[in-house]
């Protein structure tokens, strides 16, 4: 059974980032037209994404909207491609938002899941339909979770990063087994303790 309805984005992650950057450039609360001009995204698309942006704390409510402090903190790194800052702020947003943190937990519980299966899970969990425009927004949520560093994509599957670190340890141990030096065997013993 789906949970309480959550408004998903209505754009791709890249388009959502353009909208966030546009809000970050505003000096005062502004109209959709102004945000549309700054972002290069149509006013109807900006409007369709506003509920999601409000729900994750990036823009204020009201007829004229502006970026919150958190929105401004994300807009600048997005504009300059400062990946470490982008990751840190998305991680904060995901951890503070009940729906997004539940989506990360769902991947942790499943250990791994195919991307398309998880896109459908996001739409279902949000109480949305299975239409293509909803899937675009659900894919944007996947990209947000990836940008936060809390999940990764590997071979068409999504994994929680803590699960990824376990995989790296096992792979490193397997590589060490192929070595014959006593130092390598020390590493193997260390991995066996994990």
Q: Is the pLDDT of residue 14 over 50?
A: yes
- End-to-end alpha-carbon separation of the chain, Å? 38
- Does residue 138 lie in a domain region? yes
Determine the length of the chain: 194
pLDDT given at position 4: 54
Asked if residues 66 and 29 have their Cβ atoms less than 8 Å apart, the reply is yes
Burial class (CB in 10 A: 0-12, 13-18, 19+), 109: exposed
**71 & 87 share domain:** no
- pLDDT bracket for residue 111 (50, 70, 90): confident
pLDDT cut 90: percent of the chain above it: 71
Which of 19, 50, 81 delimits the end of a domain? 81
pLDDT in tens, 48-90: 999 999 999 999 998 999 999 999 999 999 999 899 999 999 9
CATH number, domain containing residue 58 = 1.10.10.10
pLDDT given at position 5: 67
The average confidence (pLDDT) of the chain is: 84
- Does residue 1 lie in a domain region? no
Average pLDDT rounded to a whole number, residues 16-44: 95
Give the helix ranges, DSSP H, for 40-181: 43-55, 69-80, 83-96, 98-110, 115-125, 132-147, 161-177
Q: What is the pTM of this model?
A: 0.80
Shortest CA distance to 59 belongs to which of 49, 67, 47, 51? 67
Residue 24, domain extent: 7-81
**128 & 174 share domain:** yes
pLDDT in tens, 167-186: 444 444 445 444 444 444 34
Both tokens assigned to 16 = 């959502």
Question: What span, in angstroms and rounded, lies between the C-alpha atoms of 171 and 154?
Answer: 14
- Does residue 50 lie in a domain region? yes
How many domains does the structure of the chain reveal? 2
């Amino acid at each position: 059974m789906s949970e309480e309805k959550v408004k998903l984005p209505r754009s791709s992650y890249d388009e959502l980032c353009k909208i966030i950057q546009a809000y970050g450039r505003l000096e005062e609360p502004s109209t959709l037209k102004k945000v549309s001009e700054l972002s290069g995204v149509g006013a109807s698309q900006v409007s369709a994404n506003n509920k999601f942006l409000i729900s994750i704390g990036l823009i204020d409510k009201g007829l004229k909207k502006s970026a919150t402090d958190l929105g401004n903190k994300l807009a600048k790194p997005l504009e300059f491609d400062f990946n470490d800052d982008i990751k840190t702020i998305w991680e904060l947003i995901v951890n503070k938002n009940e729906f997004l943190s539940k989506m990360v937990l769902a991947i942790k519980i499943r250990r791994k899941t195919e991307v398309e299966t998880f896109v459908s899970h996001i739409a279902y969990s949000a109480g949305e339909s299975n239409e293509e425009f909803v899937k675009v927004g659900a894919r944007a949520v996947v990209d947000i979770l990836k940008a936060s560093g809390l999940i990764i994509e590997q071979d068409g599957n999504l994994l929680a990063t803590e699960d990824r670190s376990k995989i790296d340890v096992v792979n490193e141990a397997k590589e060490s087994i192929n070595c014959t030096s006593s130092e390598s065997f020390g590493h193997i013993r260390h991995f066996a303790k994990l």
